[in-house]
Chain A
């Protein structure tokens, strides 16, 4: 069974940093590209970032480019999102999920990031 467990969320002040983690199991992590998707309270889904299986290809949404960094450790079956210069509008539940040509068939339960003073 595919399991994805996000962690690392919490309350952070504007301008601060946070590192999210996603622990994956139940599938061959190193064979799949991975994504971060977020959802602000009461709002829709927003794709945030993509990383290919070998980390050779990385994409970001314009809203986070230059502030967020996606990475992965295939030996540890883990995905990461380093978030710097956080803003109030980054407040959201952050989900991770493996993608096949961008289609996300499995999702974690999400981790809440709150940016507030």
Chain B
């Protein structure tokens, strides 16, 4: 089974900050990775798929990169509505989610 780790688990940041979240896979998954945002009490929202393709309607301040075993989600300038938990998901072998990264207000 493919395992995913995310770092950091928790991140405290301010509006306007550049934020980077890393997702690592236990084995190579090419570009079969997606990123989701979830706010408390809400369903997840797809941000990025195929490691770097922005889902329609998602602001361009979100970007994704990486392939193989290491991936990053970057928010170029954090906005108040971006405080949430972010999950990566691998799609190479079944569909495992990472443990999540909570982005909180500093």
Q: Do A and B come from one complex?
A: yes
Contacts of A104 in B (CB 8 A): 34, 36, 44, 46
Q: State whether A35 touches B95 (Cβ < 8 A).
A: yes
Chain A residues 80-117 with CB under 8 Å of chain B are 95, 99, 101-105, 107-110
Of A44, A45, A59, A61, most B-chain CB atoms within 10 Å: A45
Contact of B97 among A46, A59, A107, A110 (CB under 8 A): A46
Distance A82 CA – B100 CA, assembled complex (angstroms): 28
Residues of A within 8 A of B45 (CB): 107
Specify which chain A residues have a CB less than 8 angstroms from the CB of B1 in the assembled complex: 62
Please report A residues at the B interface, Cβ cutoff 8 Å. 35, 37, 44-47, 50, 59, 61-62, 95, 99, 101-105, 107-110
Known: A45-B36, A47-B89, A104-B34. 7 other contacts (CB 8 A): A37-B44, A44-B87, A101-B32, A102-B89, A102-B94, A103-B91, A105-B49
6 A-B residue pairs with CB within 8 Å: A37-B44, A46-B97, A99-B95, A103-B34, A105-B49, A105-B55
